[in-house]
Structure formats: structure tokens, C-alpha cells
């Protein structure tokens, strides 16, 4: 197979309980920009219930949607999804496959790449097409000190892209496209035996408008309750540095940073967080940053809009009082 045998750009859209993850729309918007100069077909592939609103993918930029329809995908399992996607990718042969770097996407993409014997660049922050029509996959490397430009020799060229990296295009209800419905080729997987199901904490920190985050300045797990109280008053959620996640104070679902979640809230309050580059990588795009730290030379202050030199154990109760007064 040569480069000429592969055509078009495909976004694999994630859905859960019948709702398409917005990263798919961001990727379709980016795909449209990528093919502006050298038009190529933009496709989306989604596995979900029959009732899924696949037209939303057309309205956000797809020319063609492959919908593998079945109730088995109501709550998607990456192993069943993989088994169903592989034959389709072999048949359609897209030149480029883009997947959102969500928890699900990060688990699905390497399985697909391995099965197709192709390369994969994870966690890209930007994409370009070079003069030969090849995908340039851009991602930070060496803890964000350089931006690596990566090209894959094999096809399809596959990349996962972080959520909220690209803007979400407005839907165009007039946009025409084709929706192709397929039967699932594999309906159950029997290679993994489920011994026990443990409920996972469902928080969507990436979408939060307000994040109140704690770092090693928080002395114990119980003290996160104080930050939670403020987050609740502000309608937000709790964030954390990696060190407190590693210490077992709070779950990984709350980790902000290079190896955690990237957030862009309207307000980020960093309490007892020094501002290591790996932490800043996940929150520096926040609209307003308030940093509370006892050390006036803490690097977090270099990106803070408001810096408070002080003990957060004293500052947060005071802020809480003020915010409560305002919301009463």
C-alpha cells in the first residue's frame, strides 16, 4: 500500500449515553481548516445507539458519517469499539485518523494503531499539512520545553489531540452530508473477564468554569473539604497538583497539568501550589488566575492575575465569607 491508496481525513467521535463528546466537533473544525488548501473528504466514525444525533457531526464539518449503530455502545467499551473500528478503517483507508485525547480516546487509539501496524502521536496540541500532503503532528516534548513536529511514515497517520485545544465550530444546519449506518461486526468481547466493577468518580474538570486547586500546601486529605466548600459556592470543582494526587489526598480525576487534565476555566484559584512547569502546562490558559502562596518567590505568581502572599488556611475562609455574602 502506498500513500495514494489512503484518502481523506477521519475523526473518530466518542459518545456516551447518546451524547457526542465535544472534542469530536473541535477536531472536525480543525479538519476543515487542514483541508482548506487541498480539499479532501472529511469523515466521522461513531459507534453509538441508533437514536444518536449523527447529523450534529455533519453540521460541524463532516461530509460523511459512518455510524455503527447498536445499543451495545450506549456505554462504550474500548475493546468492542476497537474490534468494530478496525475492519472499517481497513475498508475505508483514511489517510489521517484523529481521536480526542480523552480517557477513552487515550485507551482506544493505541489499540487501533497497534492493530493497523501504524504510528500514533499522542496528545497533540496542533496539526498541519505539509507540502507533500502529510500530517505534521505537533506536541510538547521534554516537559513542554520544545514543540516536536512529528511525521508518520506509515498509514493511516494517527494522532490523538487534547480536548479544548481547538475551537468548536458553530453548527451549520444547512450543511449537507451522507450518513451511512453499519451493523456492529462484533457485539461482545470475550477476551477480558470482569472480576469486579468499581464506580469511578465522574467529574468533568476540563469543562469547569471555576477550579479551586490545592497542592502540597494542603496538609492532609481532609483539608480538601475546605477548598471544596469554596468551589461549591462558586459553582466550580476541585483541582490538584500531581504531588497531592500521588500522596493519595485526592483522586487522579482532579489532577491538573502535563500528565493530568488541561483546564481553561474562567477562574482558577491555586492554593499552596508552587507553579512547577508541569502544573502550569495544564492551567495557564485560565482566564483569571488567583494564586495563594506563603512564598513570595513561588513561580505560580509569574502567571497569576492576582497574587496573595499568605497562608491559604487563613485566606480561603475569608474569601468564602465574602463570596457567601455576595451570593446570599
Ligand X SMILES: Cc1cc2nc3c(=O)[nH]c(=O)nc-3n(C[C@H](O)[C@H](O)[C@H](O)COP(=O)(O)OP(=O)(O)OC[C@H]3O[C@@H](n4cnc5c(N)ncnc54)[C@H](O)[C@@H]3O)c2cc1C
- Which residues make up the interface to ligand X (CB under 6 A)? 143, 215-217, 241-244, 255-260, 272-274, 276, 278-279, 282, 292-295, 298, 311-313
Which helix or strand (DSSP H or E) is residue 281 part of? helix 277-283
Cβ closest to ligand X, residue 67 vs residue 279? 279
The two beta strands, 288-293 and 120-124, are unpaired
Which helix or strand (DSSP H or E) is residue 3 part of? none
Q: Which residues contact 155 (CB under 8 A, 6 or more apart)?
A: 1, 3, 5, 6, 93, 95, 118
Cβ closest to ligand X, residue 21 vs residue 280? 280
- As a whole number of Å, the CA-based R_g of the chain is 22
Cβ closest to ligand X, residue 126 vs residue 243? 243
Task: Classify residue 87 as left (phi > 0), alpha (psi -120 to 50) or beta.
Answer: alpha
Cβ closest to ligand X, residue 29 vs residue 260? 260
Residue (of 130, 129, 138, 154) closest to 42 by Cα position:
129
Residue 34 CA to residue 40 CA, distance in Å, equals 9
Shortest separation between residue 309's beta carbon and ligand X, angstroms? 9
Cα-based distances in Å from 190 to 9, 28, 76, 78: 31, 33, 15, 13
Shortest separation between residue 295's beta carbon and ligand X, angstroms? 4
Shortest separation between residue 105's beta carbon and ligand X, angstroms? 18
Residue 148 CA to residue 124 CA, distance in Å, equals 9
Cβ closest to ligand X, residue 94 vs residue 275? 275
Q: What angle do CA 9, 15, 19 make, to 5 degrees?
A: 120
Shortest separation between residue 243's beta carbon and ligand X, angstroms? 4
Shortest separation between residue 200's beta carbon and ligand X, angstroms? 19
Shortest separation between residue 146's beta carbon and ligand X, angstroms? 14
CA trace torsion 151, 156, 161, 163 (10° rounding): 170
3-class state of residue 146 by DSSP: strand
Cβ closest to ligand X, residue 178 vs residue 314? 314
Cβ closest to ligand X, residue 55 vs residue 252? 252
Shortest separation between residue 245's beta carbon and ligand X, angstroms? 8
Amino acid at each position: 500500500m502506498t500513500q495514494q491508496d489512503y484518502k481523506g481525513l477521519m475523526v473518530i467521535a466518542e459518545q456516551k449515553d447518546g451524547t457526542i463528546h465535544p472534542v469530536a466537533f473541535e477536531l472536525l473544525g480543525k479538519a476543515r481548516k487542514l483541508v482548506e488548501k487541498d480539499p479532501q473528504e472529511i469523515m466521522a466514525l461513531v459507534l453509538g445507539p441508533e437514536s444518536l444525533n449523527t447529523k450534529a457531526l455533519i453540521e460541524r464539518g463532516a461530509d460523511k458519517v459512518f455510524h455503527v449503530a447498536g445499543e451495545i455502545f450506549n456505554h462504550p467499551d474500548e475493546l468492542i469499539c476497537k474490534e468494530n473500528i478496525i475492519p472499517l478503517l481497513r475498508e475505508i483507508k483514511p489517510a489521517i485518523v484523529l481521536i480526542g485525547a480523552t480517557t477513552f480516546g487515550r485507551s482506544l487509539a493505541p489499540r487501533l494503531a497497534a492493530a493497523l501496524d501504524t504510528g500514533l502521536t499522542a496528545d497533540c496540541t496542533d496539526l498541519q499539512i505539509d507540502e507533500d500532503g502529510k500530517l505534521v503532528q505537533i506536541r510538547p516534548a521534554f516537559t513542554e520545553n520544545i514543540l516536536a513536529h512529528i511525521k508518520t511514515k506509515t498509514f493511516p497517520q494517527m494522532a490523538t489531540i487534547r480536548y479544548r485545544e481547538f475551537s468548536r465550530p458553530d453548527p451549520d444546519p444547512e450543511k449537507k452530508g451522507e450518513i451511512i449506518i453499519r451493523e456492529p461486526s462484533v457485539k461482545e468481547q470475550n477476551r477480558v473477564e470482569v472480576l469486579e466493577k468499581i464506580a469511578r468518580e465522574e467529574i468533568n474538570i476540563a469543562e469547569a468554569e471555576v477550579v479551586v486547586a490545592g497542592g502540597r500546601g494542603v496538609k492532609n486529605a481532609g483539608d480538601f473539604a475546605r477548598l471544596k466548600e469554596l468551589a461549591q459556592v462558586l459553582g466550580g470543582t476541585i483541582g490538584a497538583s500531581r504531588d497531592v494526587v500521588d500522596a493519595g489526598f485526592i483522586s487522579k480525576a482532579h489532577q491538573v497539568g502535563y500528565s493530568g487534565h488541561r483546564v481553561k476555566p474562567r477562574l482558577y484559584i491555586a492554593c499552596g501550589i508552587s507553579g512547577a512547569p508541569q502544573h502550569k502546562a495544564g492551567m495557564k490558559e485560565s482566564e483569571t488566575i488567583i494564586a495563594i502562596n506563603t512564598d513570595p518567590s513561588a513561580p505560580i505568581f509569574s502567571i497569576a492575575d492576582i497574587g496573595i502572599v499568605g497562608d491559604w488556611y487563613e485566606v480561603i475562609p475569608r474569601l468564602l465569607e465574602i463570596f457567601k455574602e455576595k451570593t446570599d
